[in-house]
Amino acid sequence: MSTVPARVVRVAKRRFELRADQVERAMLDVRPEPISSHYVVIDNRRFPPKQVIGAMTGVDRADFTSHQARRILMGLGFAAGRQPREEETERRYETRAAHGGDASEPSARPLPSRPSAETLAPYVGEWVATRGPRVLTFATDPRAVVSWLAEHRQEADSMFRVPADELRAGGLAPL
């Protein structure tokens, strides 16, 4: 029996008892769906809150809101955030430049074109599809990544296998 206290929540007028460790275990082998706006972080991966609550409760996603799902998951201790739309990021950059902002200043730079090493750390050895600084999806087989992109009508900037160590990242052959 777990020592983590259960939290009683209501989703679509139904009562559920959820624990953070239970959510982590349930989502371990689940591939995150595309994030349109809000997300929660579970085991260093970003999930749409409705995907998580739907998976945990079996309640149809049309019967609750993203905000309700997000609030429940934050109450369990998961970090949550809102993903800026790409056009918002571009507009902020253009506005700074138009008002005399120097493009070389850190505050005026656009988002990085690739995910950071910290973002990629949970995907070591996996194939990932990325758009800007975000990982859209991952799998052990590149065909599964392409299939997911097609199924969800997503386009990636790049697709690559996250190297397991610096030797492989640098392209050096092992001795």
Select from 21, 83, 82, 81 the least CA-distant residue to 56.
Answer: 21
Domains of the chain by residue range: 7-82, 86-111, 114-166
Select from 155, 166, 82 the least CA-distant residue to 117.
Answer: 166
Question: Residue 106 CB: number of other CB atoms within 10 A?
Answer: 6
Residue with structure tokens 């149809």? Answer: 60
Assigned token pair, 63: 């019967």
Assigned token pair, 42: 């579970």
Assigned token pair, 4: 């983590």
Q: Say how far apart CA 137 and CA 61 lie, in whole Å.
A: 21
Indicate the average pLDDT of the chain: 81
Q: Cα–chain-centroid distance for residue 58?
A: 21
Q: What is the pLDDT of residue 93?
A: 45
pLDDT digits (tens, 9 = 90+) for 148-158: 999 989 999 99
pLDDT at position 98 over 90: no
3-state secondary structure of 50: helix
Question: Residue 24 CB: number of other CB atoms within 10 A?
Answer: 14
pLDDT at position 87 over 60: no
pLDDT digits (tens, 9 = 90+) for 32-50: 988 888 999 998 888 999 9
Provide the whole-model pTM: 0.66
pLDDT at position 174 over 80: no
